[in-house]
Amino acid sequence: KKQKKGLTPEAPTLAATFILFFSQLSRRFISIFLTTPLFSDSLSLPHSPASSHSFWPIIVFRRIDSFAATSVSRPKQYHRSPQPLNQLPLPLSQPGTLAQKIGKSIRRPGAASKARVYADVNVVRPKEYWDYETLTVQWGEQDDYEVVRKVGRGKYSEVFEGFHCTDNEKCVIKILKPVKKKKIKREIKILQNLCGGPNIVKLLDIVRDQQSKTPSLIFEHVNNTDFKVLYPTLSDYDIRYYIYELLKALDYCHSQGIMHRDVKPHNVMIDHEQRKLRLIDWGLAEFYHPAKEYNVRVASRYFKGPELLVDLQDYDYSLDLWSLGCMFAGMIFRKDPFFYGHDNYDQLVKIAKVLGTDELNAYLSKYHIELDPNLAALVGRHSRKPWARFINVDNQHLAVSEAVDFVDKLLRYDHQERPTAKEAMKCRKRQNSNALRLETNEAFLSIENFINCGGILHWEILAIILL
């Protein structure tokens, strides 16, 4: 085609030469243009005698020069002296960079923390009770169970609905992902120790694949309704009831010397039709020993207690009460999650914006904790926000004074100020009795008003009561 148009083979080379020549010429022209005194920086000042239309090429070419990183020299006043990397402000829009910059909090000695209740449960019990590393697992037959469908997944497992082949009884099969044997043994030991406890999910069997050696835990089946669907439909009484049932499970596991460490809606199965609740997923649970330092990388972000976020390692059962408080606050204020942090550092910020930084500083001082300066700067200063700020027309029927008071008791920085599960149960029982008495009084008042208005006769009321 090129030969038909009369182009010689040398034409492309010639064209390329012309392009190269003009590009070099234009680059030199721009370089001269920018370095000529006539177009120096004094021209760009407001009092410059140059006309306004002569400014645009300077601005344009400077932008080109800046982005293309040409060798044109610049006036010194446009440069700052280099700043040490560790003195540069943190780019808050980049969580990854922020995470790299913030170090762990420093804990000075002399302010140890100990559980207010059940502190010595594992001290007085034989070592076999809590020493899960020596556990010998009794494996069942995997062929006794069949998988029906996948119902969920987590960081450490895949969860399926299944059934027992002999009696067709429904079950839940939790297939564990490859993790340390020690962690698997811990979960099994804890479930065995808690077996039969109130509202604790029941472990039915432990099996493993003969070839891959992948272990699976077999649990009782719960006809659960997803909490995102269920919670918006719950009444004030329903919420009180289920929180009380959850407290039963927590008090029992605490009384057995065990912290759950991952209380959240995803781990609370509710069969609303049967009004049955089960606390599940004991993969992060641990035995409590006084003065022992635990890993703070437990619990899900939105339900992490402040003790985890400030690296206090000798925490205890009270961690579970904070998580329950977050759950309860989300339910009554219809705000899920209640503390919505983008990462662990931001989670502390979100808590501080509600509970205030004066209380946070008092907590840190009590336990001799010094935050990393970057984290302290990120948290900033905030006044305590009154709970009434979270009440609106959509949640006021749930966020009644007793419920708000209960949230206030649970969501405390100082873990030792939170009620124990047993204390919280007594508080809820008293509040439930008051609520029931109030509802009964309102019901009788409604009937009395109806009678006074001539709705029905007294003898008809008597007949209804007798029936």
Write down the pLDDT at residue 433: 59
Q: Looking at the structure, tell me whether residues 205 and 306 fall in a common domain.
A: no
Q: Looking at the structure, tell me whether residues 339 and 257 fall in a common domain.
A: yes
Write down the pLDDT at residue 436: 53
Of 23, 46, 77, the residue at which a domain comes to its end is 77
Is 242 a member of any domain? yes
Of 170, 198, 220, the residue at which a domain comes to its end is 220
* Structural domain for 167, as ranges: 121-220
Average pLDDT over residues 397-402: 97
Q: Looking at the structure, tell me whether residues 288 and 428 fall in a common domain.
A: yes
Q: Looking at the structure, tell me whether residues 232 and 210 fall in a common domain.
A: no
Q: Which of 286, 288, 244 is nearest to 268 (CA)?
A: 244
Q: Looking at the structure, tell me whether residues 380 and 267 fall in a common domain.
A: yes
Kindly tell me the sign of the dihedral angle through the C-alpha atoms of 68, 73, 75, 79.
positive
Q: Looking at the structure, tell me whether residues 277 and 381 fall in a common domain.
A: yes
Write down the pLDDT at residue 65: 36
Q: Looking at the structure, tell me whether residues 363 and 235 fall in a common domain.
A: yes
Is 461 a member of any domain? no
Active-site option among 205, 251, 262, 316: 262
User: How confident is the model over 173-210, as pLDDT tens digits?
Assistant: 999 998 899 999 999 999 999 999 999 999 999 999 99
> Can you say which residues are annotated as belonging to the binding site for ATP?
174
Q: Is the peptide bond before 178 cis (omega within 30 degrees of 0)?
A: no
Is 154 a member of any domain? yes
Burial of residue 367, with CB atoms counted within 10 A of its CB: 0-12 exposed, 13-18 middle, 19 or more buried? buried
Q: What is the CATH number of the domain that holds 159?
A: 3.30.200.20
Write down the pLDDT at residue 6: 47
Q: Count structural domains, the chain.
A: 3
Q: Looking at the structure, tell me whether residues 329 and 263 fall in a common domain.
A: yes
Which one has a higher pLDDT value, 178 or 282?
282
Is 151 a member of any domain? yes
Q: Looking at the structure, tell me whether residues 191 and 263 fall in a common domain.
A: no
pTM for the model stands at 0.74
Is 93 a member of any domain? no
Is 105 a member of any domain? no
Q: Looking at the structure, tell me whether residues 289 and 380 fall in a common domain.
A: yes
Q: Looking at the structure, tell me whether residues 246 and 374 fall in a common domain.
A: yes
Q: Which of 313, 411, 321, 365 is nearest to 114 (CA)?
A: 313
Which one has a higher pLDDT value, 361 or 178?
361
Of 220, 240, 266, the residue at which a domain comes to its end is 220
Whether 60 shows a pLDDT value over 70: the answer reads no
Q: Looking at the structure, tell me whether residues 43 and 191 fall in a common domain.
A: no
Residue 427's pLDDT band (cuts 50, 70, 90): confident
Angle between helices 236-255 and 401-410 (to 10 degrees): 30
Is 98 a member of any domain? no
Identify whether 358 is a catalytic site residue. no
Q: Which two tokens stand for residue 102?
A: 């913030």
Q: What is the CATH number of the domain that holds 355?
A: 1.10.510.10
Residue 425's pLDDT band (cuts 50, 70, 90): very high
Write down the pLDDT at residue 13: 53
Is 193 a member of any domain? yes
> Can you say which residues are annotated as belonging to the binding site?
174
